[in-house]
Structure 1
């Protein structure tokens, strides 16, 4: 594009004007302040890739609105939204980073503000990660309107992006360190004078020298109060303005009250001064906030680390034969259907299928299993995994935003969308706690005004400082965030918020057989023909029918097909079989009952029947093997005294054989998807049930179970219906899920016990005057740190 044209919209730049924005290290000219503001917003949001991938210039906007609102309106551009919004037919979903969240009251305020918007479907604020997940009807509500409403209550929000999140963390950490440094230096200086004054070192000195040191302390404490403690006032004012109670309100009252009282005593040369308490209080509060910031970052860095594994460049193969060329391109620009080359030792940039070559793939970052997996032609590979031994040619199957690694991060965020009941209760309690604290402080001041007026203010100050709901509001979300992050690292993806809470109550596990307890890698052992059709022709018919099925049985036939057959009106009936019209008559493939077979063949292996015009024309005997981890999960259930049931649509004797090998308690076989659901509902009337499955016929029962688990190798509908997805094929990960859930519940109870116990002990001591202000400061700060540190144990 010529430098005479606007880099953003392509319009001719007016002569003499110098509107420009630096994009990718180069100054790009713009035609007007409006285009300059739009481009700057795109750059500030970390979305400069928009300019790399756009197919045409942006439309020229003829109407300008105020700058702040204009910048938010840019987020409504479809080209920009592609990078950070997930969309389906009706709803749009986004994860936002929100600056300024400090406690449960902040989360409640944002949720309350947005829930009144027409078109909003769902909102959840994560106080641990400082993120907001929002779903809305795109035809009724604009993203810019949502961002504007968040700004109205005093918070800044923008689309969550890893690089921007890191920059925000660095910015916040530096700001805290600057404020902390000033407060620390001032505290040391003021404490020297305070110790001397309290120790009567100046008892023989004239009054004007004592007053001199008070004035020096006053001067040193002032910048601490005005600059270092500024975040507490901003949050307190935001809460007051929006008529809600937050933990920074009593903190701000305590700081300003102590400062005003000490300043009055200094100016009027009467009474006590507590400038050292103001400086120390601010210093310890800031130190606590900084340590909490680092703890939150540690808890949320799993998703950041996953995205860092993706390479920025990829080797694109274009052309064929002698015209074939290789070129390095940004991985983000790759599209479905393109072909790339991944050399040995390189990281695979995007999800795809191997066209040529075979190699060992390191998939530990997805599954938590460190042994390489051997992949051959037509094998699926995933972004972020490492090609170890040989070069691979890969056809791209999914865009970057729809890759498995993106889905993992999306599921990780979704797991924290709806709050468990215990978290809702603690958030509510912490909000009311602030109101109760202010009432207690007022009553303390009134009471001590009659007992000892000189001590009334300082004892009230100690009550305000010592008691804080911060630890209470952090007790549950930090533990849940850390547990979810740890499970994700081990290849266990939690989709629903209630999983960790419900798994503890499980006393019955129900398993599907094929593809769950068994490998699902069927082999055609024997074919028997009962008609004029040849054996190969029957196999070809069965293979053609199975083409519409995602069941593992389909692969057993597809390997042996030699000639395609013309079938019409093919129908897949989950849990039963398939049927179609062939040469004007009905062709069926499936169980004996589905095919109306009365003479059932007795076999320990799976028998599939093929009928044509209601006559048996062939049977197929299929073999399958148990998963290695099936014995481990069965043994785990026996150790924990959890009942087990095999619930399968297979009517063969193979079902009893599997149940006996695994020592399962019950076998229910030959049931339809509806029958599975009915049986599950009967169990759930008296027991807490966990269901494990992988197929289309398992979808209803997975959706209906108290907790459901699907394997990543299962069908898409099964994974969509399940509460938990296991990456890899290791069923023993259910043991890990169970143990982590128990540990998480234990740590949440410990956190709540500490937070409640601390306040029960400290409040009476503070009210009765046994807790001086500096002890109150230390106790309140370390109470929150103990809760966060205890939760971080779940990351190990």
Structure 2
């Protein structure tokens, strides 16, 4: 009867004893089957028309090398010619804006069916041959495909159909589906852990009598029965629960970079093999209890580590899930309030939508009707609800918490604030910081050195005490722990990233924390970065009989319906006045007049209100209030410093870092701002290219530069800096060019990032120090025979737990 070998849960190429096996998927081929494909000059049998079609497609695409380089069979191909109807909707949604030749689109797809490195090679090369595809990158770890294509030449359904044509299932990435896939993986990990734990407990029941039995109290047949029972109970743990270690070891060997799974897999295989041999011979040491304990303890530490990393990444996943898929469009507003449910992707600029309480805003817009409170915690990290009134802007992804509002869309859903942040999230976590790359390299050399040491130890004990040579060699393999190098470092970075997201800091590039910690110069833009970026009321100067408070209340009433930035500043400052203005009339470029409590007032420029002009700083605007030819008050408005700017600058200077103000504003204004903040170097009147040249000059002198900005004119210098930060309320181009986005729009979040970077690097160093001390003590102890295999397993698992728990301390940073 034909048998099918299993290689770590997948069909292995080297273990197929039957001839009639499908060349594509490895399943048995039915007698009389006529399906076949000519590959490498010979007809290859296929089990079904699906596999035949896929294999033929691979060969016709000139990609037959896939079959020579793969390490495991592909999944059986079924229904490969079908494209789900949902893809047509996806094409329609992405085509909401007409595609023009040369217009680039980006997308992320989830992949099913990846088996080995050859799969990545096959997918990327097949997609590279599609018309209009500019870039295709497969992330094996996340099973995602990142694509860039010409919208006029290619559609998402073309990409999915091409992948199905070579045997892979793909669909546009959705956080919910991807989360379900991760949940399935978690459940499998738990099942493996459960089987290992069950095996360990049962094996211990049979191993314990042998440990406690006195000389001659257990006869040979009973001892043999105990060993055979232990063997049968250990097999599920080795063949099922230990799959991740064997699979990881094989992958690291193929990549020619030995990883931490290699000594683990060798240790498990050697201990189990020696035990089976001793059981068959009826003499020698058996290690079934050590094998099952080692598998269980290491799986437990990995399970906890994975849960910790998943918990740390949850904030980013919440951000991805927050964008609603639908919206209620009011097509005939204000004549009719009848709403129609439409896809959020189909909204166009100018559409009017209804946002009910408890719903998320589908796209950026301006409130036309309704007073409410909104929850911006997911976007900014701000936990308190914020009041919004007609005329205020709302970002996509904000949660309406109080009452229904009517909103006019100002940016389509695909370009909303939250959508841009989701794109940034997609970029986040794609690479590794240098310290993690260094740790991986050190771990690889560590494993090679450990294997050489194990061989030397085995040879040495063969000369001293051959009976203990195998046991000691296994203990050396098992006790080693490169986990702090290749596991706990990314755990620390994930925990720190999670804590910063809850503080309103989105880390986009992997090197942010490491580079910020090394930064020697912190360069700030002025407007919108150190300052609010909008005028605020700085001072009210009464000039007649009215008090400053009364003048402000009157001015706020006159500006109640104006959208001018200066009017907004006055209205915000005097919002609690409760006065109402009638007979309002405005003159463009001059001001506004109206009647408040029976008195006609004029508010505006000096001549309009009857006042003489007053000399002011270049960044200060004066607005005057007058009535009956008498000037009542002068309002000074200016772009004010952020409340947290002085403290942030002070903290960076206290760390020994040089703070520089680099702005395009007038030099006198920049110098005054620098003096107010204690910044010695304040340079104004800088064009974008001059900012870029200045930063590059600092870098050429050996400086590590961190740049903080918010405007379109900061995009080039943000990209050129060693590490860069964009304000959450700034321009989209600046955010896309930056390495990190301060979602909360608080400058203090930058100090949170610096503090988090220092803590993360400190804990990573602690983990590395612990790993060094542990391995320097444990490995020699095992080599000298002082530690047996089961104690080695406990020691390694404890070491893994220590570094993971230490890394999770980074999550203790409280949300703002």
Considering the TM-score relative to the shorter chain, is it more than 0.5?
yes
Structure 1 residue 170, shift from structure 2 partner: 3.0
Q: Show the counterpart of 2:719.
A: 703
Query: Alpha carbons of 1:696 and 1:441: their partners in 2 closer, same or farther (altered >3 Å)?
Result: same
Structure 1 residue 703, shift from structure 2 partner: 3.0
Q: 1:303 aligns with which of 316, 333, 347?
A: 316
- Cα separation, 1, equivalents of 2:446 and 2:82: 36
- Which ranges of structure 2 fall in alignment gaps of 5 or more residues? 1-47, 55-74, 539-563, 570-583, 590-613, 622-635
Q: 1:675 aligns with which of 665, 685, 690?
A: 690
Structure 1 residue 772, shift from structure 2 partner: 0.6
Structure 1 residue 358, shift from structure 2 partner: 3.7
Q: Show the counterpart of 2:627.
A: none
- Cα separation, 1, equivalents of 2:273 and 2:722: 57
- Cα separation, 1, equivalents of 2:501 and 2:770: 28
Q: Show the counterpart of 1:735.
A: 751
Please say if 1:647 is aligned against 2:657: no
Query: Alpha carbons of 1:406 and 1:769: their partners in 2 closer, same or farther (altered >3 Å)?
Result: farther
CA contact (8 A) 2:659 2:679 kept: yes
Please say if 1:268 is aligned against 2:278: no
Please say if 1:179 is aligned against 2:189: no
Please say if 1:632 is aligned against 2:642: no
Please say if 1:509 is aligned against 2:522: yes
Query: Alpha carbons of 1:439 and 1:208: their partners in 2 closer, same or farther (altered >3 Å)?
Result: same
- Cα separation, 1, equivalents of 2:708 and 2:585: 31
- Cα separation, 2, equivalents of 1:521 and 1:358: 23
Please say if 1:721 is aligned against 2:731: no
- Cα separation, 2, equivalents of 1:355 and 1:160: 34
Structure 1 residue 272, shift from structure 2 partner: 1.8
Matches within 5 A, 1:472-491: 472-491=485-504
Matches within 5 A, 1:157-168: 160-168=173-181
Please say if 1:247 is aligned against 2:260: yes
- Cα separation, 1, equivalents of 2:638 and 2:657: 29
Structure 1 residue 768, shift from structure 2 partner: 1.9
Deviations 1:213-260 (A, max 9, x none): 222222222333333333433444455566663433333332233223
Q: Show the counterpart of 2:704.
A: 688
Please say if 1:761 is aligned against 2:761: no
Structure 1 residue 736, shift from structure 2 partner: 0.6
CA contact (8 A) 1:690 1:706 kept: yes
Q: Show the counterpart of 1:545.
A: none
Q: Show the counterpart of 2:355.
A: 342
Please say if 1:748 is aligned against 2:764: yes
DSSP 3-state at the match of 1:521: strand
- Cα separation, 2, equivalents of 1:767 and 1:185: 30
TM-score by length of 2: 0.70
DSSP 3-state at the match of 1:94: strand
DSSP 3-state at the match of 1:355: strand
- Cα separation, 1, equivalents of 2:472 and 2:286: 14
- Cα separation, 2, equivalents of 1:503 and 1:84: 38
- Which ranges of structure 1 fall in alignment gaps of 5 or more residues? 1-31, 39-64, 526-550, 565-600, 609-620
- Cα separation, 1, equivalents of 2:393 and 2:494: 31
CA contact (8 A) 2:305 2:491 kept: no
DSSP 3-state at the match of 1:497: coil
- Aligned CA RMSD, in angstroms, stands at 4.4
Matches within 5 A, 1:513-528: 513-522=526-535
- Cα separation, 2, equivalents of 1:91 and 1:434: 43
Structure 1 residue 741, shift from structure 2 partner: 1.1
Please say if 1:771 is aligned against 2:787: yes
Structure 1 residue 366, shift from structure 2 partner: 1.2
User: Which one is further off, 745-754 or 714-723?
Assistant: 714-723
Q: Show the counterpart of 2:611.
A: none
Q: Show the counterpart of 2:228.
A: 215
CA contact (8 A) 2:644 2:748 kept: yes
CA contact (8 A) 1:366 1:727 kept: yes
Please say if 1:67 is aligned against 2:77: yes
DSSP 3-state at the match of 2:774: helix
CA contact (8 A) 1:151 1:157 kept: no
Structure 1 residue 753, shift from structure 2 partner: 2.2
Q: Show the counterpart of 2:210.
A: 197
Query: Alpha carbons of 1:510 and 1:438: their partners in 2 closer, same or farther (altered >3 Å)?
Result: closer
Q: 1:788 aligns with which of 781, 789, 804?
A: 804
Structure 1 residue 270, shift from structure 2 partner: 1.3
Deviations 1:26-49 (A, max 9, x none): xxxxxx998xx99xxxxxxxxxxx
Structure 1 residue 267, shift from structure 2 partner: 2.7
- Cα separation, 1, equivalents of 2:231 and 2:408: 70
Q: 2:396 aligns with which of 377, 380, 383?
A: 383
Structure 1 residue 766, shift from structure 2 partner: 2.0
Structure 1 residue 271, shift from structure 2 partner: 1.4
Please say if 1:94 is aligned against 2:119: no
CA contact (8 A) 2:352 2:408 kept: yes
User: Which one is further off, 355-364 or 304-313?
Assistant: 304-313
Structure 1 residue 328, shift from structure 2 partner: 4.9
- Cα separation, 2, equivalents of 1:300 and 1:631: 32
DSSP 3-state at the match of 2:303: helix
Matches within 5 A, 1:269-668: 269-310=282-323, 314-321=327-334, 323-328=336-341, 334=347, 336-522=349-535, 603-606=616-619, 623-651=638-666, 653-668=668-683
- Cα separation, 1, equivalents of 2:318 and 2:523: 35
Query: Alpha carbons of 1:212 and 1:71: their partners in 2 closer, same or farther (altered >3 Å)?
Result: farther
Deviations 1:49-101 (A, max 9, x none): xxxxxxxxxxxxxxxx9726937987996755788999994574536578999
- Cα separation, 2, equivalents of 1:304 and 1:325: 34
DSSP 3-state at the match of 1:741: helix
CA contact (8 A) 1:605 1:622 kept: no
Query: Alpha carbons of 1:150 and 1:651: their partners in 2 closer, same or farther (altered >3 Å)?
Result: farther
Structure 1 residue 302, shift from structure 2 partner: 1.1
Deviations 1:307-365 (A, max 9, x none): 45455664332324554413455656655543221234543343322223343322122
CA contact (8 A) 2:771 2:799 kept: yes
- Cα separation, 2, equivalents of 1:488 and 1:162: 18
Structure 1 residue 760, shift from structure 2 partner: 2.7
- Cα separation, 1, equivalents of 2:690 and 2:324: 47
CA contact (8 A) 1:747 1:790 kept: yes
User: Which one is further off, 112-121 or 308-317?
Assistant: 112-121
User: Which one is further off, 134-143 or 654-663?
Assistant: 134-143
Query: Alpha carbons of 1:607 and 1:655: their partners in 2 closer, same or farther (altered >3 Å)?
Result: same
TM-score by length of 1: 0.71
Deviations 1:97-153 (A, max 9, x none): 78999xxxx9x99988988886885858586xx46564556689985699799999x
Query: Alpha carbons of 1:434 and 1:318: their partners in 2 closer, same or farther (altered >3 Å)?
Result: same
Query: Alpha carbons of 1:186 and 1:416: their partners in 2 closer, same or farther (altered >3 Å)?
Result: closer
DSSP 3-state at the match of 2:724: strand
CA contact (8 A) 1:109 1:244 kept: no
DSSP 3-state at the match of 1:778: helix
- Cα separation, 1, equivalents of 2:713 and 2:187: 54
User: Which one is further off, 313-322 or 166-175?
Assistant: 313-322
Q: Show the counterpart of 2:26.
A: none
